[in-house]
């Protein structure tokens, strides 16, 4: 402990769930230097932007946010401003050039060095892919928010989809060792966590060192399911080519594994899938969906789609809509293709913006119809809900169902962390309402 008043840290997180996890770990690392987090940027001694480089808009947002910090930095030159995450990795020293108010730039693989970096005088930049494992150098987990937690089990990507920056910003695939993950999971559960989502850019490509060699994700899940008090397991994000038989089977025989799977397909056209370097066809994806549904019939599937990839014709786009109609998704994220510097697809001519927008709208309308129908079909059904926090109305709790639907439940005796049975009574655009079933 130091006698000095705690310094205040404001973190803003952009992008994926792994960034959410990383932000928590960065806050913990800086906690060792006396920083406590604040929700107010005005009272912060340090502002850290944990950035995303996946699409142009995401990356540009960081620069506009930095611009808005200028008056604050002007008024208080001692204010430290840091840029972390994938923009930091991709643009490095460029950031310091473009935005002189930035003091510190740190990439996703070197943020365990933040405590030393904040003490350095002058500008510092670290975008190494260090030899040492950052997780081994981070303090134990502490900033837990409620009964659910993320746990990064794998990072990086070797797939090199033609449009994607992740293999460059996060580096090669690395899996964390089984023993460390079991210890971290047990620690989370001992502190009240009841649901863990395993994270990785290619989480189902997990092959961490365990007893007798490399373990698959299926094996890791089966072992994790033995932890008493860990009621729910999820994982994200998967690549279709890494869904092995054992993992598919786990969806049928591990009760803790929740019936929701995010399985990005990107396109339903084989020509476009090939140009994207996805290394699977639409037919292979559909066969995989059949296998997964055979193992767990009530599973809810979600996906990612990119529209207007270079060269995408009307027929290609129709093939994507056809795939969506065949599968029937419970949810999906869809994006207009965004050319990213340094990726192979960025060399190719882009489609007109109006065409891209029209396709995105058509695809999103179809997905919305499917999402609504999936939710409507829950009305009258009994589900389990893990309460996360009180709702906006008095005596109301909000949590997630097994199928990852947000559910509002009238329950004045409910507490965060309660896992309860609920009968769904109504469906709103983005959530469900239900009544607690008391036995």
Contact status: 264 vs ligand SAH (CB under 6 A): yes
Residues whose CB falls within 8 Å of the CB of residue 421, separated by 6 or more in sequence, listed in order = 382, 383, 384, 385, 436, 437, 439
- Quick note: the x/- pattern for ligand F3S over 174-203, rule CB under 6 A, is ---------------------------x--
Which range binds ligand SAH by CB under 6 A, 33-41, 182-190, 206-214, 335-343? 335-343
* Integer-rounded Cα radius of gyration of the chain: 22
Pick one of 35, 111, 337, 387: the residue that binds ligand SAH (CB under 6 A). Answer: 337
Helices 282-295 and 314-327: crossing angle in degrees, nearest 10, is 10
Binding partner selected for residue 160 from ligand F3S, ligand SAH, ligand SF4, none, CB under the kind-specific 5 to 8 Å limit: ligand SF4
Query: How many residues of this chain bind ligand F3S (CB under 6 A)?
Result: 14
Contact status: 165 vs ligand F3S (CB under 6 A): yes
Task: Please tell me the distance from the alpha carbon of residue 86 to that of residue 51, in angstroms, as a whole number.
Answer: 6
The partner residues of 233 in beta bridges, in order of sequence, read: 196, 257
Per residue in 357-386, is it b (16+ CB within 10 Å) or e — as a string?
A: eebbeebbebbeebbeebbeebeeeebbbb
Task: Please tell me the distance from the alpha carbon of residue 45 to that of residue 38, in angstroms, as a whole number.
Answer: 10
Contact status: 166 vs ligand SAH (CB under 6 A): yes
The partner residues of 11 in beta bridges, in order of sequence, read: 48
Binding partner selected for residue 338 from ligand SAH, ligand F3S, ligand SF4, none, CB under the kind-specific 5 to 8 Å limit: ligand SAH
Is the Cβ of residue 18 or residue 367 nearer to ligand F3S in the bound state? 18
Is the Cβ of residue 55 or residue 219 nearer to ligand SAH in the bound state? 55
- CA 347 to chain CA mean position, Å: 28
Q: In angstroms, what is the minimal distance from the CB of 59 to ligand F3S?
A: 8
Contact status: 52 vs ligand F3S (CB under 6 A): yes
Task: Please tell me the distance from the alpha carbon of residue 184 to that of residue 100, in angstroms, as a whole number.
Answer: 39
Q: In angstroms, what is the minimal distance from the CB of 338 to ligand SAH?
A: 4
| Helices marked H in 38-177 | 56-75, 85-91, 93-98, 114-119, 166-169
List binders of ligand SAH among 224-253 (CB under 6 A): 237
Binding partner selected for residue 335 from ligand SAH, ligand SF4, ligand F3S, none, CB under the kind-specific 5 to 8 Å limit: ligand SAH
Task: Please tell me the distance from the alpha carbon of residue 235 to that of residue 233, in angstroms, as a whole number.
Answer: 7
Q: Give all strands of the β-sheet with 80-84 in edge-to-edge order.
A: 35-37, 7-13, 46-51, 80-84, 104-106, 124-126
User: Among positive and negative, which fits the CA dihedral 331, 336, 342, 343?
Assistant: positive
Contact status: 266 vs ligand SAH (CB under 6 A): yes
List binders of ligand F3S among 75-104 (CB under 6 A): 85-86
Which range binds ligand F3S by CB under 6 A, 46-54, 109-117, 415-423, 425-433? 46-54
DSSP state of 151: E
Place of tokens 């594994």: 257
Which range binds ligand SAH by CB under 6 A, 30-38, 161-169, 223-231, 243-251? 161-169
A 10 A CB-CB count for 324 gives 21
List contacts with ligand F3S (CB under 6 A): 15-16, 18-19, 52-54, 85-86, 165-166, 169-170, 201
List contacts with ligand SAH (CB under 6 A): 16, 54-55, 163-164, 166, 201-202, 237, 264, 266, 304, 306, 335, 337-338, 340
């Amino acid at each position: 402990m130091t006698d000095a008043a705690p310094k205040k840290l404001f973190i803003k997180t952009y992008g994926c769930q792994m960034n959410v996890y990383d932000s928590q770990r960065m806050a913990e690392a800086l906690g060792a230097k006396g920083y406590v987090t604040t929700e107010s940027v005005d009272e912060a001694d340090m502002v850290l932007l944990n950035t995303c480089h996946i699409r142009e808009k995401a990356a540009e947002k960081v620069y506009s946010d930095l611009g808005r910090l200028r008056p604050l930095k002007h008024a208080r030159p001692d204010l430290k401003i840091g840029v972390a995450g994938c923009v930091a990795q991709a643009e490095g020293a460029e950031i310091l050039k473009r935005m002189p108010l930035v003091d510190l730039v740190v990439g996703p693989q070197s943020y365990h060095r933040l405590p030393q970096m904040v003490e350095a005088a002058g500008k510092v930049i670290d975008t190494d892919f260090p030899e040492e494992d950052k997780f081994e150098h981070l303090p134990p987990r502490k900033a837990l928010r409620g009964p659910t937690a993320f746990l990064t089990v794998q990072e990086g990507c070797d797939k090199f989809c033609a449009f994607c920056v992740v293999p460059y910003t996060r580096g090669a695939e690395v899996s964390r060792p089984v023993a460390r993950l079991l210890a971290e999971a047990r620690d989370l559960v001992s502190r009240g966590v009841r649901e863990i989502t395993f994270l990785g850019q290619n989480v189902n490509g997990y092959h961490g060192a365990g007893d007798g060699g490399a373990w698959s994700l299926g094996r890791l899940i089966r072992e994790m399911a033995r932890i008493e008090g860990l009621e729910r397991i999820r994982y994200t994000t998967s690549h279709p080519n890494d869904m092995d038989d054992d993992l598919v089977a786990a969806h049928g025989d591990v009760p803790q594994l929740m019936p929701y799977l995010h399985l990005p397909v990107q396109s339903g056209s084989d020509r476009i899938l090939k140009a994207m370097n996805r290394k699977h066809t639409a037919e292979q994806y559909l066969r995989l969906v059949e296998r997964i549904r055979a193992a767990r019939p009530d599973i809810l599937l979600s996906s990612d789609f990119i529209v207007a990839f270079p060269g995408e014709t009307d027929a290609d786009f129709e093939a994507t809509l056809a795939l969506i109609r065949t599968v029937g998704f419970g949810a999906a994220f869809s994006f207009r293709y965004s050319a990213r510097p340094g990726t192979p697809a960025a060399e190719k001519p882009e489609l007109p913006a109006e065409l891209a927008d029209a396709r995105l709208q058509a695809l999103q309308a179809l997905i919305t119809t499917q999402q609504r129908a999936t939710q409507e079909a829950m009305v009258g059904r009994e589900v389990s809900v893990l309460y996360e926090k009180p709702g906006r109305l008095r005596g109301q709790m909000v949590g997630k169902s097994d199928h990852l639907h947000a559910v509002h439940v009238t329950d004045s005796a409910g507490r965060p962390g309660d896992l309860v049975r609920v009968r769904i009574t109504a469906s709103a655009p983005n959530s469900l309402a239900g009544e607690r079933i008391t036995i």
